[in-house]
Structure 1
């Protein structure tokens, strides 16, 4: 294995979880309307934590560890580690989980819970019931000790229409059951009646799986912090850092900027939440979305007791060039060859650090788009933003052809 990762990263997953644990970040193959069921997105996610897994055995889709990733890693002096177990479909994925657990004696650290048909609950790296409870948005008050909460109401879905009559715009609707969500799915921002009607349609379509809805006052945000913490018995509770989470008008994720100056009150709020989970038995990484309004009030709107997009950005910070750091994911809008060559060019320039590459051309089917995530680094915010704009122009064939 390449020891540079172990020596250079701020922290790794194996630092936290030790031996006898294997990791998978893939959502279950079971259907979940609140996670992207797009197969290639789910497969792409399996490569995102390769560089921070360290010694932890890791399940990765074969298309995420092709020669394309090898070439990108070579540009920054890295290698694909040898702790990778690859799969290519549902059957091989679930067989690997069962082999690593039942035959090899590992606990499995899941990014998202799987059914007991896939793995017995007693083989989870983090207690399954606790893991699900901590990530349930309707139980936010428990994990914040009734602090840092916007006005909110948790209702049964059959009471949704009557409850809505008591609320005025703007507000946010969220699913409130045990199904995991990601990337803003399951969150519906309602600024007007049109937004509400669209939300009602979505809720109506999925009411067979979501029994609880959260109505939450929309906060007029001055700053959106994604704060990250980690805990292990040997290292204690660690503040990893914070990023500014970027979202579009619909609340969907648009990347993260690393922040150097975080108000102590924000750090402390996150620490209190993390300590509550640790007291319940949680072990590992967690990231919390904490909003600050114009009056400096702090609101916890989402708690993710798992790795997220900020985790690699913060853990790999010592390996990045000084200056501004931004993490983002790109899906090829052009042919995969142009997409890869453009990424290669910017990594070679030393301003784009590769994290994961999902190789659409690995598949025999035509039209599978490649995906990439990385960190812009090594310059000012203005310089890197201009570089990213130029990068996007170069992969946008509609602009190239015009």
Structure 2
């Protein structure tokens, strides 16, 4: 059984200390984006993407977290709360937060800190960020390991697939090798289910060709009626030591959108599931990679396990695993339902409205996004917590919704 990882911050996980800059997901912005690996993201709302950068504020530690404007800095924007609940519980886990505006200002910040090591899930073109600015000696590993078209390089448990370049995918010859249903995915990193299309009909295939046009894709067999969709967070040290951070079952919509996680903080994977995750992490470590990965594995109806998505970065569930000890002070076996929620008011109004639940750790917000230029809603990434009771989660979610806390971002 894997030893449990006990680190609590980005600076610990990536061994950067105070010399690190953590940049969460989706650093590109449409006004600045260049054709290439990442411009697909901007078919999704910019507000959605910037909300995602707020997920990791409470786990920065000594590292600086560089985020888009609109992300709420707990220590600056929530002064009465910071000098109470949040500072008491998370003061040592939250490092400096620096916010930028526009597509170029984060590059200016990075350029002014050339000695700081950058932890980022999507690398930049070499003419923007020099290779020696990253925490990895070879930053191209970020691309390689997150490439869905190269998963077979690091795992023997993939669903059979083929990879097609943009020109081949735009044509018809590849269809001769596939019978419906099947799944089409962007090969380049994507998130939240944005890069996944489940094809049941020819109309679905045509829609996917339009949606992913101009991009390299993978096509894989469709596994219907699966029993579980696991996300396993592992930590790999510089020396290759692998530890278990935590696991969860992912909440996935019928259209394959990521909606959050169900987390049992005392859960440990079966030996078979652990072996698959260790195989993948070991292969990545042998290439020179270290840090945090979240590996998605499904259990099919016949109990066979398949590796379906590489996430060599902090995951949506990572903050809650890192702060697990906070939950264990109030619950014997805390079960969490995580995801984005939306509240019709500013962040202080949200916090004040749910003060009892937050103090009891029934609600645990780890990131807030609020841009009054856009609307008057607070987007919050949080966990709803109960004592190992699925029915209690449903009741809690319904009660909170009646008080204005709605699941989803509600753009």
Matched, 1:232 2:241: no
Residues 85 and 42 of structure 1, relative CA distance in 2, 3 Å threshold: same
Residue pair 1:245, 1:255 contacting (<8 A) in 2 also: yes
Out of 200, 211, 235, the residue aligned to residue 202 of structure 1 is 211
Deviation by residue 1:342-390 (Cα, 9 ceiling, x = unmatched): 45564245300110111223xxx25264211111124333223211122
What residue number does 2:24 align with? 25
Residue pair 1:34, 1:182 contacting (<8 A) in 2 also: no
Deviation by residue 1:275-328 (Cα, 9 ceiling, x = unmatched): 000000001000111011122211111001111101112121111142211221
Provide the secondary structure at the position in 2 that maps to 1:35.
helix
Provide the secondary structure at the position in 1 that maps to 2:293.
strand
* Runs of 5+ unmatched residues, structure 1: 1-7, 398-402
TM-superposed deviation, 1:247: 0.5
Out of 157, 162, 167, the residue aligned to residue 153 of structure 1 is 162
- Pairing 1:65-80 to 2, within 5 Å after superposition: 65=73, 69-70=78-79, 74-75=84-85, 77-78=88-89
Matched, 1:125 2:135: yes
The CA RMSD over aligned residues, in Å, is 2.6
Matched, 1:39 2:46: yes
TM-superposed deviation, 1:9: 6.6
Q: Please say which of residues 277-286 and 388-397 is displaced more in the overlay.
A: 388-397
Matched, 1:329 2:340: yes
How far, CA to CA, are the matches of 2:131 and 2:287 in structure 1? 17
Matched, 1:301 2:308: yes
What residue number does 2:10 align with? 13
Deviation by residue 1:107-146 (Cα, 9 ceiling, x = unmatched): 11112222234311221112221111111111111011xx
TM-superposed deviation, 1:60: 2.9
TM-superposed deviation, 1:255: 0.8
Residues 87 and 240 of structure 1, relative CA distance in 2, 3 Å threshold: same
What residue number does 2:371 align with? 360
Residues 190 and 349 of structure 1, relative CA distance in 2, 3 Å threshold: same
How far, CA to CA, are the matches of 2:117 and 2:150 in structure 1? 26
What residue number does 1:400 align with? none
Q: Please say which of residues 365-374 and 244-253 is displaced more in the overlay.
A: 365-374
What residue number does 1:275 align with? 282
Residues 255 and 195 of structure 1, relative CA distance in 2, 3 Å threshold: same
- Pairing 1:312-391 to 2, within 5 Å after superposition: 312-320=319-327, 321-322=330-331, 323-332=334-343, 334-336=344-346, 341-344=352-355, 346-361=357-372, 365-367=373-375, 369-379=377-387, 380-391=389-400
What residue number does 2:409 align with? none
Residue pair 1:48, 1:373 contacting (<8 A) in 2 also: yes
Residue pair 2:295, 2:311 contacting (<8 A) in 1 also: yes
Residues 98 and 45 of structure 1, relative CA distance in 2, 3 Å threshold: farther
How far, CA to CA, are the matches of 1:139 and 1:386 in structure 2? 42
Q: Please say which of residues 246-255 and 387-396 is displaced more in the overlay.
A: 387-396
How far, CA to CA, are the matches of 1:118 and 1:331 in structure 2? 35
Out of 202, 214, 220, the residue aligned to residue 216 of structure 1 is 220
TM-superposed deviation, 1:234: 6.1
Matched, 1:174 2:171: no
TM-superposed deviation, 1:167: 1.7
Residues 142 and 235 of structure 1, relative CA distance in 2, 3 Å threshold: closer
Residues 173 and 138 of structure 1, relative CA distance in 2, 3 Å threshold: same
Residues 229 and 194 of structure 1, relative CA distance in 2, 3 Å threshold: same
Out of 71, 93, 108, the residue aligned to residue 95 of structure 1 is 108
The alignment of Structure 1 onto Structure 2 pairs a total of residues equal to: 374
TM-superposed deviation, 1:33: 4.3
How far, CA to CA, are the matches of 1:85 and 1:396 in structure 2? 28
How far, CA to CA, are the matches of 2:381 and 2:101 in structure 1? 20
How far, CA to CA, are the matches of 1:107 and 1:311 in structure 2? 21
Residues 158 and 23 of structure 1, relative CA distance in 2, 3 Å threshold: same
Provide the secondary structure at the position in 2 that maps to 1:90.
coil
Matched, 1:84 2:97: yes
How far, CA to CA, are the matches of 2:390 and 2:378 in structure 1? 27
Residue pair 2:249, 2:261 contacting (<8 A) in 1 also: yes
Q: Please say which of residues 43-52 and 220-229 is displaced more in the overlay.
A: 43-52
Out of 195, 211, 233, the residue aligned to residue 186 of structure 1 is 195
Residues 96 and 223 of structure 1, relative CA distance in 2, 3 Å threshold: same
How far, CA to CA, are the matches of 1:225 and 1:270 in structure 2? 11
